[in-house]
Amino acid sequence: MKYIASINRLMLIAGLLASSLMVGSCSDDDEMVFEGTPEISVTKAGNVVDAIDFGSYSESVMLTLESNAPWTISCSDNSGWLQLSNISGDPTTGVNKKPRYIKLSVSPIGESDTRTCTVTFSAAGAVRNITVTQRGVNESVWENSFAANRNMGVGINLYNTLDAVGDWFDPDDIVACETCWGQPLATQGWFDAVAASGFRAVRVPVTWWLHMDENDVVKEPWMNRVEEVVNYALNAGLYCILNVHHDTGDGGWLCADKANIETISARYVKLWTQIANRFNKYDHKLLFEGYNEMLDEKNSWVEPSADGYEALNMIAQTFVNTVRATGGNNEHRNLIVNTYGGGGSATRLNNMAIPKDQVPGHLLVQVHNYTPARFSNLDGSLNDLDDKDMPAWSKEFEKELGDELELLIAFSNKHGIPVVIGECGAYDRIPDAEKAKYGEFISTYSHGRASVSVFFWGQLIDRTNYNELYPLFIDGLLKGLNN
């Protein structure tokens, strides 16, 4: 009897304890009891998201979750094709609390039928639903930005060619203009050689203002030549990035100048409307890059004027709106916007606003990276040295470059957007074996952690005889395609 009485007393104590702790426990429907009004928000790159549309490849999207109550995540399809990085957590608001980043990842779908599910974010009764769709290969109407970035992987620039500017030649003389910076005319043979070496993409920088009439209409001979060169790349099976290049930068008309943004934007809209209409018929292997290294009205390479970042973000949004407005294939073409001056510092990345787009998953952000400056000779420190004194690739160089690549990885994951390193460099007099170590480092560093592609700025394939100039370096860069 004493034994039974003891059990009863223990049960009574347990019941009272459970009642006193009710606020921190789960109710019958597995929801936390919460006092107050529960709130939960789920955003992607700062924008509320209701649907995510994946392509047929393996890829991921990073979402930001904020809630004042304990939260859970569930999926209507538990077959495993959609993976969630987290399924529950504590409130994210309050003292020393931070938003929670949730990664949604999908496995390749192949030629299977489109699959879809609902992901439900719950917090004490507050609910946000997101529809997730992944299309099979046969149903995908257009490759999204993650797939494009992965498939480009490692590319090179057709540099100092269609992007040349100067006042010592007739801009209407196509040959003189294209060769004035020391490069021969672009040829189909060179693009074929680039593809044969293993590269998957070529960035084609183009300067337009020299070839526009008094009404800002691009002259037909120049537009024809640009299209001819773009076709060289596509005929070789390469991806092609087409941009607006030295219209920006020191002395360019396209600048982050908010005081004159209306005049600049009007001219910019007219230019990109012409480009977008001319190339509308091309498929997903042609990407548009809105502008190169845009500076403010003072041509500042350090920090822009007070409203310089805002002006650049306005122009980036105008680029996306203008291309989308031309319809057709341009409704879902992958578009690239650059940071201020193409910089990849924390300040430049933090001040970059991802444009709003009418279609999800078709934007990329580009930066340029010539780190370490002593290895790329950006600082000119190698000019007077003998070949035997060229620097070797080192742990110190790896640390310097790695720190900057970490910023790109964090940015890509935070905003759920691919990053293109549109330009990078290694001094040509540095031994091939040392450049190869650099090439492998920059092209493989982000693998498995974020979507980052790499484009080299410099001569790797001879423009005349199409031979590889630095075979070991090329092999090092292309390691980025094999991991």
In sequence order, what are the residues at sequence separation of 6 or more whose Cβ sits closer than 8 angstroms to the Cβ of residue 60?
Answer: 103, 104, 105, 106, 146, 416
pLDDT digits (tens, 9 = 90+) for 40-84: 999 986 778 888 887 665 677 888 899 999 999 999 998 889 999
Q: Return the sign of the alpha-carbon dihedral for residues 319, 272, 340, 206.
A: positive
Q: What percent of the chain has pLDDT over 70?
A: 89
Catalytic residue among 178, 404, 423, 434: 423
Nearest to 127 by CA among 85, 78, 82, 69: 69
CA 331 to chain centre: 18
pLDDT-based confidence at 25, cuts 50/70/90?
very low
Q: What angle in degrees, to the nearest 10, is found between the helix axes of 432-444 and 395-415?
A: 30
Name the residue with tokens 């209507």: 76
Contact at 8 Å (CB) between 302 and 319? no
Residue 108 confidence class, pLDDT cut points 50, 70, 90: confident
Q: Is the pLDDT of residue 2 over 50?
A: no
Q: Which position among 66, 143, 289, 293 bears the catalytic label?
A: 293
Q: Once rounded to an integer, what is the mean pLDDT over residues 455-461?
A: 97
Cβ 309 vs Cβ 351: under 8 Å = yes
Evaluate whether 119 touches 51 at the Cβ level (below 8 Å): no
pLDDT at 17: 39
Residue with tokens 């049960």: 11
Is 214 a catalytic site residue? Answer: no
Is 423 a residue of the active site?
yes
Structure tokens at 74: 């569930």
Domain ranges of the chain: 40-134, 145-481
Is pLDDT at 21 greater than 60 in this prediction?
no
CATH of domain 40-134: 2.60.40.10
Joined tokens for residue 460: 């790797």
2-16, 18-32, 73-87, 287-301: the lowest-pLDDT one: 18-32
Structure tokens at 447: 């693998």
| pTM of the predicted model as reported, rounded to 2 decimal places | 0.77
Mention the CATH class of domain 145-481.
alpha beta
Q: Is the pLDDT of residue 30 over 60?
A: no
User: Which ranges of 279-361 would DSSP assign to H, the alpha helix?
Assistant: 308-325, 346-350
Query: In which band, very low, low, confident or very high, does the pLDDT at 423 lie, cut at 50, 70 and 90?
Result: very high
